[in-house]
A and B are shown apart, each in its own frame.
Chain A
Amino acid sequence: MDDDLDTLDRFEHRLAGIEANVKDPPPFDHERRTMPGPTRKSRSLVATVAVVAIVVAVVAVGSLIGGARPTGPTSSSSVVGGSGTATPVATPSPAATTVRTVMIDEWSARCVDVQKVDCIGAAGIFLNQLGRSYTGMFESSGGVLTVEARPVCPLVPDWADGSYCWQVSVTGNVDPDTGKPICIVIARRTTDTRYPPYGQVGGSNLSGAANSGGGIGQSCS
């Protein structure tokens, strides 16, 4: 019993450090019967993943029903397992540039010659990688990102399909490592279904963490 009390005391002594992280109450708006919560820009990434998941599902179903002609390889059956070597495949350019805009959470993604489902998947990975840069980058870019087809991939790791990639970029931000605009390269994942169907294989190291992408940390193009 004394042991328990002593342990609890010592634990609570250290837990008291949480007080520095506990925020004071913001003013409560009685007129609106609510309080100013976090801005949409600071919404948690879990929520972003959920939103992206919904949109991907809806678009995927829509594509199947509508039989939309893909721009890029979303229904790719040619899974070229990345084995650490680049497997570039020339993909015919579309006759005309197709630009569509999709909203992902509060971000606006410009999809240039990219099928919507791939655009959302690639943009979702980009937003997920932003982590602590999410709010800052949203503000400096005006919340606009661009997803473009990138038929020739960089060297991709084993889990990626190196036959086709996409490139996601934002304006208003410079990668400190390359001095070029922030940009990442995305490929379809061919293995390990525990992860999203897309993953980063090149470009800026947004998460700041050591990563498995073959070209991460290198210039985007």
Chain B
Amino acid sequence: MSQDRSSDSTQDSRLVVPVQPATHGHAMAFDRVYRAHYRDVYRYLLGLTLSSQDAEDVAAETFTRAYQAWQAAPDPALPWLLLTARRIATDRWRRARRLAKIVLRVTPQRADDAGERQTEFWLWFGAVARVLTDRQREVLLLRYQHDLTDADLALIMGISESGVRSLVARALEVLRSHPELL
């Protein structure tokens, strides 16, 4: 994941942060990771935010940041991408909740996206979200990504490896007490 750097400082819109331009090798390496992991990042965000719009937004921001910081991206990249995605999603949610709470005196709900709520999967996943805590749901989502180790999960969630294991165990215990969800 090494790449050259030069001094281009093009800034063509407010959406684009000026960065060092990518070399061809850089772009190729990034493309590979982007294609390999976009769905992983999107899936994680979808399960986290329960909103395809938010998942799409945050995934876009995650990969834009990843591209800008590519020289610092570790290998394997997936845990780092998921950690970045988690931070962006958390920041957005906290910001929206704080503003809405202060000014409108309302606690915003996670967005319910068109159509999604009606499918069998989303009805099931909504029921899962009601019985598991956010962190329990998150750890199972991450566990679902079989390439991730306990250490990766710990890094992403900001807890210890033993914390990951106990969180998983507790989540499974809760699920067992709701056999209709299995």
Which residues on A are within 8 Å of B, measured CB to CB? 3-4, 7-8, 10-12, 14-15, 17-25, 28, 30, 32-38, 42-47, 49-50, 52-54, 56-57, 124, 131-132, 193-197
Contact = CB atoms under 8 A, between A and B. Distances in A.
A44 B39 contact: no
Contact of A23 (B56, B64, B103, B175): B56
A52 B100 CA distance: 9
Interface of B: 12-13, 15-17, 19, 22, 27, 30-31, 34-35, 38-39, 42-43, 46-47, 51-54, 56-57, 60-61, 63-64, 67-68, 92-93, 95-96, 99-100, 102-108, 110-116, 119-122, 124-125, 140-141, 143-144, 168-169, 172, 175-176, 181-182
A196 B105 contact: yes
A42 B19 CA distance: 27
| Contact residues of B: prevailing secondary structure | helix
A57 B16 CA distance: 28
Given A21-B116, A28-B67, A195 B106 contact: yes
A57 B99 CA distance: 10
Nearest to B55: A23
A131 to B, nearest CB: 7
30 contacts: A3-B172, A4-B169, A7-B175, A8-B168, A11-B182, A12-B144, A15-B125, A17-B125, A20-B119, A21-B52, A21-B122, A22-B43, A22-B46, A23-B56, A25-B34, A30-B22, A32-B15, A33-B16, A34-B16, A34-B64, A42-B53, A44-B57, A49-B100, A49-B104, A50-B99, A53-B102, A53-B103, A54-B99, A124-B104, A132-B115
